[in-house]
Amino acid sequence: MPATIGWLPHLQVLKLKRDSFIGSEWETVEMQFCKLKYLQIDGCDLVHWTTESTHFPCLEHLQLEHLILKEIPLSIGEIPTLQSIKLVDCSTSAVASATKIREDQQENYGNDDLQIQ
């Protein structure tokens, strides 16, 4: 992914569809995606995603479709604004990590509202 897209100061919605993301690894950095509320990754080659909760401080909705992603970074669960994770035709390990994120939200933050679909 072009590194510059994360620096767009008012970016709130990002939909990465087939062929918009080349490569199997994505490592985000701090101060990117500061206002991003909705992230959709659909049909890309992404397998390994490295990120921290501070890289997406306003993320509310994460939608992952048709991915062989090994796991959703557990740090995504530390985002206080996160409301939902939607998975469509993703690896069983990605689904398992979403379930783990929800369990951690319930246990560590008392948040029973995180929706996993």
Q: Residue 3 has what DSSP assignment?
A: G
| Contact predicate 14/36, CB 8 Å | yes
* b/e map 95-106, b = 16+ CB within 10 Å: bebbeebbebbe
Mean pLDDT of the chain: 89
pLDDT, one tens digit per residue, over 44-97 is: 889 999 999 999 999 999 999 999 999 999 999 999 899 999 999 999 999 999
Q: Residue 77 has what DSSP assignment?
A: G
Top pLDDT among 70 and 29 is at 70
Top pLDDT among 5 and 10 is at 10
As a whole number, mean pLDDT of residues 32-45 equals 93
Look-up of token digits 């080349």: 22
